[in-house]
Structure 1
Amino acid sequence: MGKSLYIAEKPSVAQEFAKALKINGQRKDGYLESEDSVVTWCVGHLVTMSYPEKYDIKYKRWSLDTLPFLPREFKYEVIPGVQKQFNIVKGLLNRPDVETIYVCTDSGREGEYIYRLVAQMAGVKDKEQRRVWIDSQTEEEILRGIREAKELSVYDNLADSAYLRAKEDYLMGINFSRVLTLRYGNNVSNYLNSKYQAISVGRVMTCVLGMVVRREREIRSFVKTPFYRVLSSIALEGEHFDGEWRAVEGSRYFQSPYLYKENGFKEKKHAEELIRMLESEQPLSCRVEKVERKKENKNPPLLFNLAELQNVCSKLFKISPDETLRITQELYEKKLVTYPRTDARVLSSAVAKEIYKNISGLRRYLMIDNAADEILQMGSYKTIAKTRYVNDKQITDHYAIIPTGQGLNVLKSLSQTSQRVYETIVRRFLCIFCPPAVYQKVSLVTEMQKEKFFSGFKVLQEEGYLKYATNSFARKSAADRSQESGKEDSEEASCDVQLLNALQRLKKNDILTVDALNIKEGETSPPKRYNSGSMILAMENAGQLIEDEELRAQIKGSGIGTSATRAEILKKLVSIKYLSLNKKTQVIIPTLLGEMIFDVVNCSIRQLLNPELTASWEKGLTYVAEGSITSQEYMDKLEHFVRVRTAQVEQSNYQYALRQFFDAAAANYKSKPMASRRGGKS
């Protein structure tokens, strides 16, 4: 009888498969073997695309004569440092006694690519190949994945999109980096008085650079505008609250040119004029024109996908997206959470049926007190499939990141930050089984001489899911538990129970005493800089930083990069010194070099800076994976884009125009380039 070969992406994952399969056989060099099974592993990528000079030595020298570089057949090679493990894997894949190959690389586009390249280079033929697709590394899930493994050919479209993604990054990176360097590299290096400067560009990388540079320039050009609001201080049963004047219809200032917005003036003198007019009638009082009371339910947020988790961890722990991914990958490999590289924020209906197992496992997790027991007693998990937290249509490769309920015995051996990331994932998960938080809202309109003042109040009445939302390392009172519930409406003040009860008794036409009318000066705020977390969210949403999760769901699937690659792209931009990341605050700003590269690209291949265009390429890869378009259709479009844009740069001549852009950027950096100070040529 032939043997089954299981090939994992990493040694640690191979060990988990060996344990699940009860392979107690001999450990050999690069694999484990028993009577009927062999388990081996890659070490990440074993095979990569060859550099252009492997096609022809003439391509080693960067020259406009050899561009665009568009090979008919792509060449691949084994990565030198892992040649030994490749040879072991190749030998096993082709061993006569191996009948069935189980592909156990990570369940995603990149994992598919890793295996396909190995099989291609190893020349695998006439073997049954089956794909194991799992969502966690628990023994139960591994065995299910093996049991339900499908023919590898089922994933051919996914593999096609993986090959295309690599070819796209390769062709754009090589052609555009070379052509821009040849045309404008000397401009950059001469200006900076540095050594020869290669200009590094990429499909996603350059777009992200553009987002950061544009935001920085928006902040620089922002001019603060002062404005003046008029507030009434109103007395009510021994309490006080403010009313904000607004120039609504019926006001003397309705649509006046003196207004900044309807609730403020451009100049202080007009606010003072309004107060003088209102103070002409003494004693000061106001009439209740309208009072509205309503309850507002705030539902638990959706579960974590990788982007959402990276954003929250950037805020809570000031760690980079790359570090969040590393930690979550570690939690996954320790069986604590499900697969991290996911874009979905919901569960599948199949998982929902068994979700009580995850909750039950968390009863041993001390950081959440008795939360798991309480949620099991509630019984809401039985109907979770009918809620917005379960939706098969919103899942492509994997469902949201959730705790497995297993692996808790290893948690104490992890770093404090890893433990806290785990707790954050657990609490977000538990919240979806809880009722909404209930707020009592009171909206009030008061009138003074036909001028309207507006007040709004919001009080937490039932904490609902907020009871479990706040991490143990950030304990707050129930009223303050808004970490998971989003920002409070800025127009609504929180108030104590006494004031709320007094407001509840108010009726239309009641007359209230106004203690004073005041002017409150404010000023407009510039756009915020991206931090590492908000940048990941902006990448997920095609360049838009959308805080509202329902809006985000509507444009899902239009992102720049993927959950698996976004952190790495950001890390690369920092490592090549195009961006600067403050490790304490996680705030991202461009460097002078980054701004200069932006100006070069903006003059010559502006399309690379367009988030919508970059997102459309990613969408195209999704269409290939779904089988909606063919690889050839995608490749034809890609080659046309590379050919046209490369020619566009070759024919461009922005050397003199760039100098003024470089000067404008350099003015914002303390140490200006030597060449600039000497009046050197660019």
Structure 2
Amino acid sequence: MGKSLYIAEKPSVAREFAKALKEDMRTFDGYQESEHAVITWCVGHLVTMSYPEAYDMKFKKWSLATLPFIPETFKYEVIPGVSKQFKIVSNLLNRSDVDTIYVCTDSGREGEYIYRLVEQMAGVKGKDRRRVWIDSQTEEEILRGIHEAKDLSEYDNLSESAYLRAKEDYLMGINFSRLLTLKYGNTLAGFLNQKYTVISVGRVMTCVLGMVVRREREIREFVKTPFYRVLNSMEFEGLTIEGEWRAVPGSKYFGTPKLYKENGFREKKDAQELINWMKSLEPQEAAVMSVERKQEKKNPPLLYNLAELQNDCSKLFKISPDETLRVVQELYEKKMVTYPRTDARVLSSAVAKEISKNISGLKGINMVRPFAEEILEKESYKQIAKTRYVNDKMITDHYAIIPTGQGLGAMRGLNPVSLKVYETIVRRFLAIFYEPAIYKKVSLTMGMETERFFASFKVLADPGYLKVMEYSFRKKKTEDTTSQNDADSNEKSGDAHLLEQIAKIKKGMTLPVKSYAIKEGETSPPKRYNSGSMILAMENAGQLIEDEELRAQIKGSGIGTSATRAEILKKLVNNKYLSLNKRTQIITPTLQGELIYDTVSASIKSLLNPELTASWEKGLNYVAEGTITPEEYMTKLTHFIQSRTSGVLGLRNQYIIKDSFERVAPFYKKSR
């Protein structure tokens, strides 16, 4: 009987497989071996696509005459720095006593690609190849993955999409970077006083640059508009009630051009005119026209996928998406959380059946022990499969990031940030087993002749899941306890005593008016992206959607993938196209980045289109699903590159582009 070869993506993962197999392993250079098994590893990528000069030396020199470069058959080569490990892996794959290969690289498109390239270069033939697909590195999950491993051929479509993604990034990067650099590089270099300038273009990277530049220009062009709200102050049994005036039907101001919105005037004098009129009324009191009481529920949020976690970590800890991924990858490798590079925010029905094990393990963490014990005691986990937190249809490769309940011994070795990230994941997970938070709300409508004033009060009646969300690293703060004084709300939050007093107010009562006030405000420009909101906008194909539940409803393929978004952002910063403020995590374009945006906009504008970029990603998903063939996808990709290259070669627009540079430069005087 032959041996089984297990090939992991990293040495650390290989060690976990060795532990799980419980074989008497001997260690050799680049692998471990026992009587029945051999375990080896890649070190990330061992094989890569060859540079153009590998096809013909004429392609080494950048020239418009050699574009577009689209080879009929793509070439690959072993990465020089890891050639020793490749040789070890290749020899093991082809050993005569190895009859079964277990592919244990990361369970996703990139992990699939890493192995397939190695197999292709090693020329593996006649072996039984099985794919191990796991969601965590716990011993039980590793053994389950091995036991349930499917024939590798079942992942051929995923492999095809991985190859196509690499070809697409390669072809767009090489062709469009060379094309735009040769066409406009001198113009850009001259303007920036540089010896030479390379215009680096990428399918996803350039689109993200476009999103940031467009947002910056929206902010730059924004004109603040002042507005003036009218408030009155009424009294009831020692309680002061602040009402906000609105021009509703029946008001003498309803529908007039004097209004900015229904609750504000364009001119201060008009607000003062209204106050003067109301002051002339006798008696100075407001009649209670209506009292509306209702209860609001706020459900626990969905679980974390990588994008949501990166967004929260950017806000809570001011760390970049790249750093968040590094931390959660560390937690994954220490068996503390499940697979991090996931787009799903729900659990699978299979995991839901065994979820009590995860909860039980968390009793070992002092700060959340009471919650874990309460969930287990009440057996609320038994109903989770019937909730929105479990949905097999919303999972492609992996379910949401959750704690495994294992590996707690590693907590002592975690740095403070890693501990905080872990706590964030744990509390988000435990929250889904609790009831919604319940708020009681009272809305009052008061009248003074033709005019109406409105006031709302809200109190947290039952914290429900919110009691789980009191992070140890934050100053204690009750959710929704601050007044909301923006242009669209005059809602006040308070305690139960306040609500009891308000409850005494009945329709038909009159309340004495003590004073009036004008509150000046102004419209706000759009917010700049921070590193977390940028990841969310990429996930939602260029839309920055603040509402958590709405994001879950409209989720599509997005721009890039959970595995690549942080790296793309990092590359834009390293290229000095974007600037990242490490303290605030705010992202802004650099002068060079904005000039490259203008260059791309004047030449291959579609590269800046988030919807088009997302459609490429969706196309790759269709290949992975088997909906379209690799040939169909490649035909469209080839046509896109050929047509855009031809279009740019025919342009004579350097002077127009230089004019756009002149318009942008004054905003970056210190940069030049």
TM-score normalised by length of structure 2: 0.98
2:566 maps to which residue?
A: 567
Report deviation, 1:23: 2.6
Q: 2: CA distance between counterparts of 1:672 and 1:232?
A: 50
Q: 2: CA distance between counterparts of 1:571 and 1:481?
A: 37
Report deviation, 1:550: 2.5
The 5-angstrom pairing of residues 668-679 of structure 1 reads 668-671=667-670, 673=672
Instruction: Give CA deviations for 1:44-72 in whole Å, capped at 9, x if unaligned.
Output: 00000000010000000111110000100
- The 1:481/1:282 distance shift into structure 2, 3 A limit, reads closer
Report deviation, 1:669: 1.2
2:39 maps to which residue?
A: 39
Determine if the alignment matches structure 1 residue 73 to structure 2 residue 61.
Answer: no
Q: Is the 8 A contact 1:5 1:40 kept in 2?
A: yes
Q: 2: CA distance between counterparts of 1:16 and 1:214?
A: 46
Instruction: Give CA deviations for 1:377-429 in whole Å, capped at 9, x if unaligned.
Output: 12110010000000000000000000000000011101110011000000000
Instruction: Give CA deviations for 1:557-578 in whole Å, capped at 9, x if unaligned.
Output: 2300000000000000000000
Q: Is the 8 A contact 2:591 2:671 kept in 1?
A: no
Q: Is the 8 A contact 1:157 1:626 kept in 2?
A: yes
Q: Is the 8 A contact 1:130 1:149 kept in 2?
A: yes
The 5-angstrom pairing of residues 512-531 of structure 1 reads 512-531=511-530
2:406 maps to which residue?
A: 406
Determine if the alignment matches structure 1 residue 662 to structure 2 residue 661.
Answer: yes
Determine if the alignment matches structure 1 residue 206 to structure 2 residue 202.
Answer: no
Which secondary structure does the structure 1 equivalent of 2:297 belong to?
Answer: strand
Q: Is the 8 A contact 2:244 2:490 kept in 1?
A: no
Which secondary structure does the structure 2 equivalent of 1:473 belong to?
Answer: coil
Report deviation, 1:636: 0.3
Query: What is the one-letter code of the residue matched to 1:24?
Result: D
Q: Is the 8 A contact 2:63 2:182 kept in 1?
A: yes
Instruction: Give CA deviations for 1:271-304 in whole Å, capped at 9, x if unaligned.
Output: 0111111111133110111110011111100000
Which secondary structure does the structure 1 equivalent of 2:27 belong to?
Answer: strand
The 5-angstrom pairing of residues 209-228 of structure 1 reads 209-228=209-228
2:303 maps to which residue?
A: 303
2:318 maps to which residue?
A: 318
Query: What is the one-letter code of the residue matched to 2:547?
Result: D
RMSD: 1.3
1:85 maps to which residue?
A: 85
Q: Is the 8 A contact 2:186 2:197 kept in 1?
A: yes
- The 1:488/1:269 distance shift into structure 2, 3 A limit, reads closer
Report deviation, 1:672: 5.6
Q: Is the 8 A contact 1:230 1:244 kept in 2?
A: yes
Which secondary structure does the structure 2 equivalent of 1:584 belong to?
Answer: coil
Query: What is the one-letter code of the residue matched to 2:524?
Result: S
Which secondary structure does the structure 1 equivalent of 2:282 belong to?
Answer: coil
2:48 maps to which residue?
A: 48
Q: Is the 8 A contact 1:133 1:145 kept in 2?
A: yes
The 5-angstrom pairing of residues 9-158 of structure 1 reads 9-158=9-158
Q: Is the 8 A contact 1:578 1:590 kept in 2?
A: yes
Q: Is the 8 A contact 1:367 1:423 kept in 2?
A: no
Instruction: Give CA deviations for 1:587-641 in whole Å, capped at 9, x if unaligned.
Output: 0000000000000001011100000000000000000000000000000000000
1:536 maps to which residue?
A: 535
Q: 2: CA distance between counterparts of 1:257 and 1:211?
A: 35
Q: 2: CA distance between counterparts of 1:301 and 1:47?
A: 41
Q: 2: CA distance between counterparts of 1:391 and 1:432?
A: 14
Q: 2: CA distance between counterparts of 1:310 and 1:304?
A: 9
Query: What is the one-letter code of the residue matched to 2:471?
Result: N
Q: 1: CA distance between counterparts of 2:397 and 2:490?
A: 41
Report deviation, 1:235: 0.8
Q: Is the 8 A contact 2:131 2:151 kept in 1?
A: yes
Report deviation, 1:163: 0.3
Q: Is the 8 A contact 1:470 1:481 kept in 2?
A: no
Q: 2: CA distance between counterparts of 1:491 and 1:76?
A: 63
Instruction: Give CA deviations for 1:435-491 in whole Å, capped at 9, x if unaligned.
Output: 110100111111111111111111001010001012111141545689xxxx99954
Q: Is the 8 A contact 1:580 1:588 kept in 2?
A: yes
Q: Is the 8 A contact 2:480 2:493 kept in 1?
A: no
The 5-angstrom pairing of residues 285-434 of structure 1 reads 285-434=285-434
Which secondary structure does the structure 1 equivalent of 2:185 belong to?
Answer: helix
Which secondary structure does the structure 1 equivalent of 2:668 belong to?
Answer: coil
Which secondary structure does the structure 1 equivalent of 2:602 belong to?
Answer: helix
Between stretches 209-218 and 504-513, larger displacement belongs to 504-513
Query: What is the one-letter code of the residue matched to 2:354?
Result: E
1:551 maps to which residue?
A: 550
Q: 2: CA distance between counterparts of 1:624 and 1:493?
A: 52
- The 1:477/1:214 distance shift into structure 2, 3 A limit, reads closer
1:627 maps to which residue?
A: 626
Q: Is the 8 A contact 2:460 2:495 kept in 1?
A: no
2:273 maps to which residue?
A: 273
Q: 1: CA distance between counterparts of 2:128 and 2:195?
A: 54
Q: 1: CA distance between counterparts of 2:179 and 2:134?
A: 43
Instruction: Give CA deviations for 1:99-156 in whole Å, capped at 9, x if unaligned.
Output: 0000000000000000000000000110000000000000000000000000000000
The 5-angstrom pairing of residues 479-498 of structure 1 reads 479=479, 490-498=489-497
Alignment gaps of 5+ in structure 2: none
Q: Is the 8 A contact 1:596 1:662 kept in 2?
A: yes
2:183 maps to which residue?
A: 183
Q: 1: CA distance between counterparts of 2:567 and 2:248?
A: 50
1:582 maps to which residue?
A: 581
1:678 maps to which residue?
A: none
Which secondary structure does the structure 2 equivalent of 1:667 belong to?
Answer: helix
Q: 2: CA distance between counterparts of 1:527 and 1:477?
A: 27
Query: What is the one-letter code of the residue matched to 2:329?
Result: Q
Which secondary structure does the structure 2 equivalent of 1:343 belong to?
Answer: coil
Report deviation, 1:368: 1.7
Determine if the alignment matches structure 1 residue 505 to structure 2 residue 504.
Answer: yes
Query: What is the one-letter code of the residue matched to 1:325?
Result: L
Q: 2: CA distance between counterparts of 1:158 and 1:563?
A: 16
Q: Is the 8 A contact 2:248 2:254 kept in 1?
A: yes
Query: What is the one-letter code of the residue matched to 1:518?
Result: A
Query: What is the one-letter code of the residue matched to 2:629?
Result: T
Determine if the alignment matches structure 1 residue 235 to structure 2 residue 244.
Answer: no
Q: Is the 8 A contact 1:307 1:536 kept in 2?
A: yes
* Residue correspondences, number: 669
Q: 2: CA distance between counterparts of 1:668 and 1:244?
A: 40
- The 1:488/1:411 distance shift into structure 2, 3 A limit, reads farther
1:649 maps to which residue?
A: 648
Q: 1: CA distance between counterparts of 2:661 and 2:556?
A: 36
- The 1:266/1:650 distance shift into structure 2, 3 A limit, reads same
Q: Is the 8 A contact 2:18 2:25 kept in 1?
A: no
Which secondary structure does the structure 1 equivalent of 2:497 belong to?
Answer: helix
Q: 2: CA distance between counterparts of 1:388 and 1:119?
A: 41
Which secondary structure does the structure 2 equivalent of 1:310 belong to?
Answer: helix
Percent identical among aligned pairs is: 71
Alignment gaps of 5+ in structure 1: 674-682
Query: What is the one-letter code of the residue matched to 2:570?
Result: K
2:194 maps to which residue?
A: 194
1:435 maps to which residue?
A: 435
1:598 maps to which residue?
A: 597
- The 1:477/1:550 distance shift into structure 2, 3 A limit, reads closer
Q: 2: CA distance between counterparts of 1:58 and 1:603?
A: 29
Q: Is the 8 A contact 1:466 1:481 kept in 2?
A: no
Report deviation, 1:495: 2.3
Moved over 3 A (4+): 477-482, 487-491
Report deviation, 1:554: 2.5
Report deviation, 1:525: 0.6
Query: What is the one-letter code of the residue matched to 2:59?
Result: Y
Q: 2: CA distance between counterparts of 1:579 and 1:608?
A: 17
Q: 2: CA distance between counterparts of 1:187 and 1:449?
A: 68
Q: 2: CA distance between counterparts of 1:307 and 1:49?
A: 28
Report deviation, 1:552: 1.3
